A and B are shown apart, each in its own frame.
Chain A
Amino acid sequence: MAHQVRLTLDALQSLIDELQSREYIVIGPKIENRKVVYDEIAKIDDLPAGWSDEQEAATYRLHKTGSPALFDITHSMNAWIHHLYPSKATLLKASRENSGFTVERMKEAPPKYALFGIRPCDLEAMKKYDRILLKDTFHDEIYKNRREKTFIISANCTRPSGTCFCASMDSGPKATSGYDLALTEIIRDGDHYFIADIGSESAQELINKIPQAEASADDIAYANSLIEKAREQMGRTLNTGNLKEILYKNYENTHWDTVGDRCLTCGNCTLVCPTCFCTTIQDYTDLTGSNVERIRQWDSCYNNEFSYIHGGSVRTSSYARYRHWLMHKLATYHDQFDTSGCVGCGRCITWCPAAIDITEEASAIRQHSITV
């Protein structure tokens, strides 16, 4: 079994100090505009201690709990993707030269991030990104360079939100691999501390520099019991049994029309989803026409022009765009990358202005399945 230590709140601050002294930019959950976002933090006090979130379909609220807990909030609105696969990146610059043009490939000095408090679902999403952007014929240079430098401190979930269903997707509430450190927060008998599972040598080296104690068997068991309780309290469930096959058989199910009538094709779900990876490439030319920047930015399959080919877009109706998105998450992703396109974080449910719920829609298709 992996080595586990007990850390105090002060030790956690030392951990952040230690990371910063090694020139890591520490990213963590913090409150901004009445929601939890995932962005740069300077110290432990920046974390949303004493706050908790309520998430339901099309509903997000923060409230004070009075508890000192740092991780009573569940996941942030945005995942880590902004940091490792930026929403806007300049790929090249071109300039006019005589009758032709020259191209300059952009090389960035990759920032060094420590992702603090990343949730197990988002960690699973990162493994999917690794599969797509690192393990195919071609890799993505920006993602690769940033990813290699990243230090990961995961936070196991002891309280799921109303839209969480990671237990159904086998991607939480406990981080199983892929982290340097995995924390479980414990508040017990007036004591507030963290059990840290050490997942890498560099984490061990870091831990040696800060005040810590060996975790007792009792602490470890208690931490696990909290996670297990979270597993039982998931706000949503999704029956994944045979789901891919059912969806493939139901491209023509009339239920898609029903959800298509509700979908506003706003693309919110794709922007908060930690497994969505679509981008577009656009050229920006200055007024003189002598300089061009080619910029890659996040895109959404809900945009009409996303599927544009000569003669028009392939998916013009909202039902077709919703179907494409859901099919990708729960069916086609499996065939593309040997893994589900959904980690059960429930963000798409929370942030959908029409309260469309992927778990409800998938089970509706199952229920009204056309048998072939």
Chain B
Amino acid sequence: MEKTIETNRKTNGQYDPLITHPYTVKRVINETHDTFTLHLGPTNGRNTIFPFTAGQFNMLYMYGIGEIPISISGDPSKPEQLVHTTRAVGTVTKAMRGLKKGHSIGVRGPYGNGWPLDNLEGKDVVFIAGGIGLAPLRSAMYQVLANRDSYGKVVLLYGTRTPIDILFRKELERWKSRFDLDVYVTVDRAIGTWRGYVGVVTILVSRAPYDPRNTVALVCGPEVMMRFSIMELKKRGVKSEHIYLSMERNMKCGVGHCGHCQLGPTFVCKDGPVYRYDEIDYLLDIREV
């Protein structure tokens, strides 16, 4: 039964993409005051472990409440640990925060294309994350670190609201202590004993150590943050075709049938969520597109 979903995606077979499958919550990690991570596993062997690509998402379903797209934040080399990190902001995510070990949640997916990590060998890789945007980038980070020698410099630039909003803090501190990795964190507002950077993440884009002519940037965060980060990247000379960003739109089906996630001529669920910047640059400056 393993890899069933992946196989059927390709063969257009019996797998019905709109049917959710109950998975069991194996672990809940409260990351910050409003973000949390869920580790999910198959329920009684009734469903399967499936492979995924860093940057893909699943549709997660809270029984009787609703279903939403959430990026996978786990390690692609460990598909048996199905990990999602999200912020409790809406009806579904607020209910999700109440989940405990042993509870059930519906899963279908994975959907979307993911980060283009296979083609980045020898390049400097710059991760730029805003807020919860760090979650889908963490999967890519795991993969890059697992093959660290294949890349040039690896830089993570992360901006969040305040020091108490820092996601994956322990992991970030561990990464920051490595000699083969540059990690910079900035907050919009310094509170408490914060001694780090203060200001938007774009200030880091202009200073961080990478070679703009040999860099690929992976960007995920609020649209406005991505727009300004890209402006800075371009100012430093990173080419548009070397910038990738992950977009968000309303989604109902995940397979390009329901129409909700249209972004210009594309469907975020199947043509995205990761786009090469020059494919959609003209859409990012238009309001309400």
Taking the closest CB of chain A, its distance from the CB of B245, in whole angstroms, is 15
> How many angstroms between the C-alpha atoms of A192 and B287 in the bound complex?
57
Taking the closest CB of chain B, its distance from the CB of A99, in whole angstroms, is 6
Contact assessment for A105 and B16 in the assembled complex, using a CB-CB cutoff below 8 Å = yes
> Does any Cβ of A come within 8 Å of B202's Cβ?
no
| B64 nearest CB neighbor, chain A only | A285
- CB-defined contacts of B259 to chain A, threshold 8 Å: 277-279, 299, 301
| B14 nearest CB neighbor, chain A only | A141
> Does any Cβ of A come within 8 Å of B21's Cβ?
yes
Stretch at the interface among A24-32, A225-233, A307-315: A307-315
Q: Which of A288-325 contact B (CB under 8 A)?
A: 289, 292, 294, 296, 299, 301, 306-310, 314-317, 320, 324
- CB-defined contacts of B18 to chain A, threshold 8 Å: 91-92, 281, 296
| A107 nearest CB neighbor, chain B only | B16
- CB-defined contacts of A133 to chain B, threshold 8 Å: 257
Contact assessment for B255 and A136 in the assembled complex, using a CB-CB cutoff below 8 Å = yes
Q: Which of A316-348 contact B (CB under 8 A)?
A: 316-317, 320, 324, 327-328, 331-332, 334-336
> How many angstroms between the C-alpha atoms of A315 and B20 in the bound complex?
29
Taking the closest CB of chain A, its distance from the CB of B118, in whole angstroms, is 20
Contact assessment for A332 and B64 in the assembled complex, using a CB-CB cutoff below 8 Å = no
| B263 nearest CB neighbor, chain A only | A314
> Does any Cβ of B come within 8 Å of A33's Cβ?
no
> Does any Cβ of A come within 8 Å of B66's Cβ?
yes
Given A105-B16, A279-B252, A308-B250, is A252 in contact with B286 using a C-beta cutoff of 8 Å?
A: yes
> Does any Cβ of A come within 8 Å of B253's Cβ?
yes
Query: How many A-B pairs fall under 8 Å by CB?
Result: 129
Taking the closest CB of chain B, its distance from the CB of A16, in whole angstroms, is 33
> How many angstroms between the C-alpha atoms of A140 and B20 in the bound complex?
15
Q: Mark A84-104, 1 if CB is under 8 A from B, else 0.
A: 000000011010100111110
- CB-defined contacts of A308 to chain B, threshold 8 Å: 250
Question: Which residue from A99, A141, A248, A283 sits with its C-beta under 8 Å from B104?
Answer: A99
Question: Which residue from A141, A317, A331 sits with its C-beta under 8 Å from B265?
Answer: A331
Question: Which residue from B66, B106, B257, B286 sits with its C-beta under 8 Å from A140?
Answer: B257
Taking the closest CB of chain A, its distance from the CB of B11, in whole angstroms, is 10
> How many angstroms between the C-alpha atoms of A92 and B9 in the bound complex?
20
Taking the closest CB of chain A, its distance from the CB of B112, in whole angstroms, is 12
- CB-defined contacts of A102 to chain B, threshold 8 Å: 22
Contact assessment for B256 and A136 in the assembled complex, using a CB-CB cutoff below 8 Å = yes
Taking the closest CB of chain A, its distance from the CB of B203, in whole angstroms, is 23
Contact assessment for A332 and B257 in the assembled complex, using a CB-CB cutoff below 8 Å = no
From A281, A315, A335, residue with most partner B Cβ within 10 Å? A281
Contact assessment for B255 and A315 in the assembled complex, using a CB-CB cutoff below 8 Å = no
Contact assessment for A306 and B256 in the assembled complex, using a CB-CB cutoff below 8 Å = no
Given A132-B257, A279-B258, A283-B64, is A336 in contact with B22 using a C-beta cutoff of 8 Å?
A: no
- CB-defined contacts of A317 to chain B, threshold 8 Å: 288
Contact assessment for B9 and A138 in the assembled complex, using a CB-CB cutoff below 8 Å = yes
Contact assessment for A336 and B265 in the assembled complex, using a CB-CB cutoff below 8 Å = yes
Q: Mark A113-143, 1 if CB is under 8 A from B, else 0.
A: 0000000000000000000110011111100
Taking the closest CB of chain A, its distance from the CB of B111, in whole angstroms, is 10
Question: Which residue from B103, B260, B282, B288 sits with its C-beta under 8 Å from A278?
Answer: B260
Taking the closest CB of chain B, its distance from the CB of A284, in whole angstroms, is 9
> Does any Cβ of A come within 8 Å of B249's Cβ?
yes
> Does any Cβ of A come within 8 Å of B208's Cβ?
no
| B132 nearest CB neighbor, chain A only | A310
> How many angstroms between the C-alpha atoms of A328 and B258 in the bound complex?
14
Taking the closest CB of chain B, its distance from the CB of A104, in whole angstroms, is 9
Contact assessment for A103 and B19 in the assembled complex, using a CB-CB cutoff below 8 Å = yes
Interface of B is mostly: loop
**Size of chain B's interface in residues, with CB distance under 8 A?**
45
> Does any Cβ of A come within 8 Å of B276's Cβ?
no
Contact assessment for B65 and A283 in the assembled complex, using a CB-CB cutoff below 8 Å = yes
Q: Which of B108-157 contact A (CB under 8 A)?
A: none
| A314 nearest CB neighbor, chain B only | B288
- CB-defined contacts of A309 to chain B, threshold 8 Å: 248-250
> Does any Cβ of B come within 8 Å of A222's Cβ?
no
| B44 nearest CB neighbor, chain A only | A100
Contact assessment for A99 and B103 in the assembled complex, using a CB-CB cutoff below 8 Å = yes
| A333 nearest CB neighbor, chain B only | B265
Q: Which of A43-100 contact B (CB under 8 A)?
A: 91-92, 94, 96, 99-100
Contact assessment for B257 and A100 in the assembled complex, using a CB-CB cutoff below 8 Å = no
- CB-defined contacts of B90 to chain A, threshold 8 Å: 310
Taking the closest CB of chain A, its distance from the CB of B105, in whole angstroms, is 9
- CB-defined contacts of B253 to chain A, threshold 8 Å: 279, 281
- CB-defined contacts of B257 to chain A, threshold 8 Å: 132-133, 136, 138, 140, 277, 279
> Does any Cβ of A come within 8 Å of B53's Cβ?
no
Contact assessment for B16 and A280 in the assembled complex, using a CB-CB cutoff below 8 Å = no
- CB-defined contacts of A282 to chain B, threshold 8 Å: 66
| B267 nearest CB neighbor, chain A only | A336
- CB-defined contacts of B102 to chain A, threshold 8 Å: 99
Contact assessment for B12 and A138 in the assembled complex, using a CB-CB cutoff below 8 Å = yes
Contact assessment for A280 and B104 in the assembled complex, using a CB-CB cutoff below 8 Å = no
Contact assessment for B67 and A281 in the assembled complex, using a CB-CB cutoff below 8 Å = yes
Question: Which residue from B65, B260, B286 sits with its C-beta under 8 Å from A280?
Answer: B260
Contact assessment for A292 and B63 in the assembled complex, using a CB-CB cutoff below 8 Å = yes
- CB-defined contacts of B250 to chain A, threshold 8 Å: 306-309, 314
21 chain-A/chain-B pairs, Cβ below 8 angstroms: A91-B18, A92-B18, A99-B104, A100-B24, A100-B103, A105-B16, A136-B255, A136-B257, A251-B286, A252-B286, A279-B252, A281-B252, A283-B66, A283-B67, A299-B260, A306-B250, A307-B249, A307-B260, A310-B248, A314-B288, A320-B287
Residue numbers of B with Cβ under 8 A of A are 9-10, 12, 16-22, 24, 43, 63-67, 89-90, 102-104, 106, 248-250, 252-253, 255-260, 262, 264-267, 270, 282, 286-289
Given A96-B63, A103-B20, A315-B288, 9 further pairs, Cβ under 8 A: A92-B20, A99-B104, A101-B106, A138-B12, A251-B286, A279-B253, A292-B64, A306-B250, A335-B265
